[in-house]
Structure 1
Amino acid sequence: MLNAVKRYSLQVRLLLATTFVLTLARAITLPYLVVYLAQNFDLDISAIGLIIGGALIVASLLSLYGGYLIDTLRSYTVIIASTLVFAVAFVGAVVSRELSLFFTSLVLINLALAVVDIAAKAGFCTLLGLEERAEVFSIKYTLSNVAYAVGPFLGVALIMLDDHLPFLVSALLGLAMCLSYRRWGERSAPARLDGSPQAGFFSVGGQLLKDRRLICFTLGGALSAVVFGQFTAYLSQYLVVTLDATQAAHYISYLVATNAITVIALQYVIGRRISSRHLMPWLMAGMVLFLAGLLGFSLAQSLLVWCLAMLVFTLGEIIVIPAEYMFIDRIAPEHLRGVYYGAQNLSNLGAALGPVMCGFALAHLVPVATFYLLIGSVLLAALFYYLGARH
């Protein structure tokens, strides 16, 4: 993978580095966010979930306009502004004494990260040929998983030194990438490829609503994200209900480690082989692996079976995420790549829905019904992917 990165131009490497560092900065605060909200704002667990999930939902909706800005303005300008907002928002989170200000800071952190992510995807499509994009999407996703594997450990170490250090270090990382992009980012790239005036945001939104392929793939992506977006949350919920707390914590630690090791080891190897000419077979293979993994979870009676099911489940994740990127790349008009990727980012709404749906199932149905609901979500996602490809 490192040899592949060395072959890329400075601009591609800079986009990869920017998304990696910002994701790392976000991951550093993850282990302490729940504790910080409980200690500083005296919130119960349901209110904390509402704050964290609500911030992600609001940021996902606003990222659609962020994608529009990427198509309208220079990517250089948008990335500089987003990384600066990212840094300032972490400072705002530290100094805020009002819950509304802290919530606004969380929204801005998630929004800035989403906009930079969209800019990176659009930039890869501009800077690289069609056949090279599967590889770079896989590298980007691998780096994101490395960041989420390393970040929480750094966050825990920083917390031991000072309660506010995770937020301040994350702010410094955002500022460092802002200055780095200001120094080495491509300033001469035009905002528009053809120089024609950009349509208004609502006009562009109307155009998106007419693209049935985009609608189907956005719905398919949201339903897929219900399954893999926050799988640790619903697996933790299930294990706490079916096992004692100590055993549940033991199981979930092994499952998270299995997922991280599998992604880091195999994402690049598998993802670079996904061909734009055979996206639907790849996507359907990913759906089948999700189904097999969920069935394995529903039948698992030992830690070994849980880990094997997680391995199969993660293989589906490895395939589906870059394949979704490539499909959006294939259908997006050149002048609307940003807003198309912004629409794809709405799949985060599905990620926010997953734990809520599973919590309802655990409260009102037999525990194993959780996995049957998730299997239904996978089947619906596969149907929407098929409809999108047919159009």
Structure 2
Amino acid sequence: MLASLKRYPPAVNLLLLTTFVLTLARAITLPYLVVYLADNFQLAVSQIGLLIGGALMLASLLSLYGGHLVDTLRNHTLVISATLLFALAFGVAIASRSALLFFVCLVLINLALAVVDIAAKTGFCALLPVEERAEVFAIKYTLSNIGYAIGPLLGVALIELDDQLPFLVSAAIGLGMCLCYARLGDRQLRASSPGQTGAGFGQVALRLARDRRLVCFTLGGVLSAVVFGQFTAYLSQYLVVTASPAEAARLVGYLVTTNAVTVIALQYLIGRRISRQRLMPWLLAGMGLFIAGLLGFSLADSALAWCLAMLVFTLGEIIVIPAEYMFIDLIAPEHLRGVYYGAQNLSNLGAALGPVIVGFALGQWVPVAAFYLLVLSVILAAVFYYLGTQKR
């Protein structure tokens, strides 16, 4: 991976650094967000879930327009604006005394992160030849997981010093990255040439809706995100029902560690081998590993069994996410890459649905039925992926 980073143009490495730093800044506040909302706004757990999940869903919808901005504005202008918005939203969140204002700040934080993510992906496509894109997508995803592994640990340490410090540090990191990109970013980089970006957002949205392959693949992404988007949330729900709270907390800790170590160790090695020519076989392999992992969860009766099932499950995640990036790269017209990647972000809607579906299953049927519902979601996702990879 280091050899590849040395070979890339400076603009690619700066985009990788930007997405990593902002992911790290976002992850710093994750351990304390629920507690902060409960302590400062006296919200019930159900209300907190709606606030956090609603902010993610609204930001995902708005990122479709964010992708359109990526296609129409210079990369330099957009990344600076998004990182500045990221920093300001964290600053306002600290000062807010209203749950509604805090919700708006969360939406802006998630939206800014999504826009920078889209700008980075389109930047990679503009700066690198086709054969090198799978590798850079794998590197980006590896760095994001490193950020999510390190960030919460930093957040916990900062909370010990002051309960607002995680937000202040995240704001400072965002502002620092904004200044860095303003100075070092490529001012000429664009997702497409200026002459190609005349269509308004309404026309572009209509074109997206008519692209059968994109619609099928987006539906597949939503259904697969139901399974891997917030797996820690629904596994916690399941374990709280089937084990003691202490045992559930212990097992979830093991599973999160197993997932993080597996992704960091294997993402680059596997992701760089995914080719545009064999996307469907790779996707089917990923879906098969998801199903095997879910069935492993349904049968697990020890910490070792849970961790082995998580390892298999994570291998599916390692394959599916870069393959989704590659498919969008394959079908997106050059002047609409940003909005196509914005459409891919709609898979976050599926991530928000995962805990809801599992909660319903746990309340209505025997607990293990939740995993069978998730297996069904994987199968349906595979069907839509297959339809999406078929030409007319």
Coarse TM-score class (shorter-chain normalised) = over 0.9
- The residue that corresponds to 1:331 in the other structure is 331
| 1:48-197 to 2 correspondences below 5 Å | 48-190=48-190, 192-193=192-193, 195-197=195-197
- The residue that corresponds to 2:231 in the other structure is 231
- The residue that corresponds to 2:293 in the other structure is 293
The change in CA–CA distance for 1:225 and 1:268 in structure 2 (over 3 A counts) is same
CA contact (8 A) 2:134 2:322 kept: yes
Which whole-Å CA distance do the structure 1 matches of 2:176 and 2:353 have between them? 34
1:251 aligns with 2:251: yes
- The residue that corresponds to 2:277 in the other structure is 277
How many equivalent residue pairs?
391
Which whole-Å CA distance do the structure 2 matches of 1:168 and 1:280 have between them? 44
Which whole-Å CA distance do the structure 1 matches of 2:191 and 2:157 have between them? 42
Partner-residue secondary structure (3-state), 2:188:
coil
1:207 aligns with 2:207: yes
Which deviations, in whole Å up to 9, do the C-alpha atoms of 1:190-229 show, x marking residues without a partner? 5641524520101000000110000000000000000000
Shift of 1:276: 1.1
Which whole-Å CA distance do the structure 1 matches of 2:214 and 2:190 have between them? 26
Shift of 1:23: 0.2
Shift of 1:281: 0.5
Which whole-Å CA distance do the structure 2 matches of 1:140 and 1:259 have between them? 17
Which whole-Å CA distance do the structure 1 matches of 2:344 and 2:192 have between them? 21
1:302 aligns with 2:302: yes
| 1:15-54 to 2 correspondences below 5 Å | 15-54=15-54
| 1:333-352 to 2 correspondences below 5 Å | 333-352=333-352
Shift of 1:86: 0.1
Which whole-Å CA distance do the structure 1 matches of 2:195 and 2:385 have between them? 34
Shift of 1:314: 0.2
Q: Structure 1-normalised TM-score?
A: 0.99
Shift of 1:82: 0.2
Task: Name structure 1 gaps, 5 residues minimum.
Answer: none
Which whole-Å CA distance do the structure 2 matches of 1:189 and 1:131 have between them? 20
Name the amino acid aligned to 2:237: Q
Partner-residue secondary structure (3-state), 1:71:
helix
- The residue that corresponds to 2:266 in the other structure is 266
Which deviations, in whole Å up to 9, do the C-alpha atoms of 1:345-389 show, x marking residues without a partner? 000000000001111111111100110000000000000000001
The change in CA–CA distance for 1:47 and 1:145 in structure 2 (over 3 A counts) is same
Moved over 3 A (4+): none
Name the amino acid aligned to 2:337: R
Partner-residue secondary structure (3-state), 1:254:
helix
Which whole-Å CA distance do the structure 2 matches of 1:249 and 1:262 have between them? 20
Shift of 1:4: 1.4
Which whole-Å CA distance do the structure 1 matches of 2:200 and 2:229 have between them? 32
Which deviations, in whole Å up to 9, do the C-alpha atoms of 1:236-278 show, x marking residues without a partner? 0000000001111111110110000000000000001111111
Which whole-Å CA distance do the structure 2 matches of 1:32 and 1:166 have between them? 8
Which deviations, in whole Å up to 9, do the C-alpha atoms of 1:146-199 show, x marking residues without a partner? 000000000000001011100000001101111111001111235641524520
Which whole-Å CA distance do the structure 2 matches of 1:297 and 1:196 have between them? 49
Q: Structure 2-normalised TM-score?
A: 0.99
CA contact (8 A) 2:123 2:189 kept: no
Which whole-Å CA distance do the structure 2 matches of 1:351 and 1:87 have between them? 25
Shift of 1:75: 1.2
The change in CA–CA distance for 1:190 and 1:54 in structure 2 (over 3 A counts) is closer
Task: Name structure 2 gaps, 5 residues minimum.
Answer: none
The change in CA–CA distance for 1:190 and 1:3 in structure 2 (over 3 A counts) is closer
- The residue that corresponds to 1:6 in the other structure is 6
Which whole-Å CA distance do the structure 1 matches of 2:188 and 2:319 have between them? 35
- The residue that corresponds to 2:366 in the other structure is 366
Partner-residue secondary structure (3-state), 2:173:
helix
CA contact (8 A) 2:123 2:191 kept: no
Shift of 1:6: 1.4
Which whole-Å CA distance do the structure 2 matches of 1:180 and 1:63 have between them? 24
CA contact (8 A) 2:126 2:191 kept: no
Report percent identity of matched pairs. 73
